[in-house]
Amino acid sequence: MHGYSSKKNGWVCVLLIVCLVLVTKVWAEESTQVSFKGDVQPILQYRCLECHRADGPGVAYSGLSLENYEGLMKGTRFGPIVVPGNALVSNLNVLVEGRAGVRMPHNKKRLTPCEIQVLRNWVNQGAKDN
Ligand code: HEC
């Protein structure tokens, strides 16, 4: 009887540690301050700019220029794609995460989970020009 309960305690302990690690990880991701210039702009430059710059097809079709902060915040000719503080409804995040019919980058390799997380954190932290 005694042996059984100490084994059970051991499992409870393991579970607690696993929970603690997960919570710490989520907390660390949320609290890391994302920089537009340092983190976000390089992703846009490498993965989006070939189409979303002045004479690119992405601008021709949607009006969305991703050359700088102003262009990103202005959005498409239909309206903004970033809702500061809310990555859940921001079209930028919806598209790169593949949550809609269209996915960006258009017909190209999707962003890595890490890049997706950077864009999500940046929007959730207020989409600042930092
Ligand atoms: C290979 C070219 C190409 C690349 C690379 C590309 N796009 Fe696009 N993008 C387009 C085209 C073309 C359109 C307009 C047609 C459409 O909506 O499918 C568009 C439209 C959009 C729209 C507006 C969609 C809407 O429904 O209003 C957003 C937002 C967008 N792109 C974001 C991005 C982001 C962010 C990246 C980089 C991660 C990216 N795009 C990379 C070609 C591209």
Contact assessment for residue 111 and residue 96, using Cβ atoms and an 8 Å cutoff: yes
Q: What pLDDT shows up at residue 29?
A: 63
Measured distance CA(80)–CA(62) in Å, rounded: 11
Q: Which residues of the chain have pLDDT under 70?
A: 1-5, 28-31
Q: CA quadruple 54, 39, 91, 126: dihedral positive or negative?
A: negative
Mutation probe of ligand 1 site: the residue of 68, 106, 118 with most atoms within 8 A of C-beta: 106
Q: What pLDDT shows up at residue 44?
A: 97
| Ligand 1 proximal residues by C-beta, below 6 Å | 47-48, 50-52, 57-58, 61-62, 64, 76, 78, 81, 91-92, 95-96, 102, 104-108, 111
Measured distance CA(67)–CA(54) in Å, rounded: 8
Measured distance CA(52)–CA(105) in Å, rounded: 10
Q: What pLDDT shows up at residue 30?
A: 64
Measured distance CA(51)–CA(61) in Å, rounded: 10
